[in-house]
Structure 1
């Protein structure tokens, strides 16, 4: 007969720097979960992962998937998934670029613009709360920026390969 396990502990927290990716994912999921609750309570069908794309499209008339990918620092595949969700919800449409027929330019539909206007007060409150959290965490954004810069200098992949070779 085996001994019963102790109550689970926070493995990621106990793993220190080795679990940095897991900790960042956990924070992101927690923030997204809270935002989803707020959207649900507001009665608006909106996903937090759409935020950056909708914000950029509300400031620009039309942008390509590549433009959005570069501006948000995420993969084309991620933007394509977001594009598909926004299109299914009727919030964006796209047209062929006049100068490059291979390029599609995304734009908010009137429904998308209306939704962005309705969500503006919630987004302002989310931004204010984020500023408060960052202040409470002694400028967590600065630490994230340092981490991004360190990874831009030498990727995690290259760091691990150097240790394995």
Structure 2
């Protein structure tokens, strides 16, 4: 059997292991989208989904909602605007504020993708159940612990 250094490293490779898991799941979902003939990428999902009900939201609020940096959300928004899935406009009271909402094309795509998202959710739920652990609760606890004390602070206090 080949050596798995990531497993050998245990918690020292926590970030790498989470990143690898994320990439593995995203790769499979990307293939599902492709096989379903949707021009859609997993990295667009959270921003797209946040707007699927037709709400117009400021980019700054979206970045807080999605717990992502402003530049990261802005980058995805730019792609979705270019693809015609999102419309943007400046806030009349504050021209620095960028407001986003799904275009008609985006709303139509969201409606078409809803059944597939339901299947993906069911598959995720099944996967989490098979793990015999409450991964989502554990992840939330780790996130809250990092909110209280960053990894940088933890390393410095050692």
TM bin (shorter chain): over 0.9
2:57 pairs with 1:63: yes
Secondary structure of the 2:51 match is helix
2:136 pairs with 1:141: yes
Map of 2:151 onto structure 1: 156
Question: Could you report, residue by residue, the CA deviation over 1:78-120 in whole angstroms, capped at 9, with x for unpaired residues?
Answer: 1011111111211111011132221110111111111111111
Secondary structure of the 2:157 match is helix
State the alpha-carbon separation in 1 of the partners of residues 81 and 137 from structure 2. 35
2:89 pairs with 1:91: no
Map of 2:43 onto structure 1: 49
State the alpha-carbon separation in 2 of the partners of residues 13 and 114 from structure 1. 43
Where do 5+ consecutive residues of structure 1 fail to align?
A: 1-6
CA RMSD in angstroms, aligned pairs only: 1.3
Where do 5+ consecutive residues of structure 2 fail to align?
A: none
The runs of 4+ residues in structure 1 deviating greater than 6 Å are none
Aligned residues: 157
State the alpha-carbon separation in 2 of the partners of residues 127 and 99 from structure 1. 39
Map of 1:102 onto structure 2: 96
Deviation of residue 13 (structure 1)?
1.3
State the alpha-carbon separation in 1 of the partners of residues 125 and 53 from structure 2. 22
Please identify the structure whose Cα radius of gyration is greater.
Answer: 1
State the alpha-carbon separation in 1 of the partners of residues 67 and 116 from structure 2. 24
Contact (CA 8 Å) 2:54, 2:107: kept in 1 or not?
no
State the alpha-carbon separation in 1 of the partners of residues 53 and 62 from structure 2. 12
State the alpha-carbon separation in 2 of the partners of residues 45 and 39 from structure 1. 7
State the alpha-carbon separation in 2 of the partners of residues 141 and 114 from structure 1. 30
Deviation of residue 129 (structure 1)?
1.0
State the alpha-carbon separation in 2 of the partners of residues 88 and 99 from structure 1. 25
TM-score, L = length of structure 1:
0.90
Question: Could you report, residue by residue, the CA deviation over 1:14-34 in whole angstroms, capped at 9, with x for unpaired residues?
Answer: 100011100100110011000
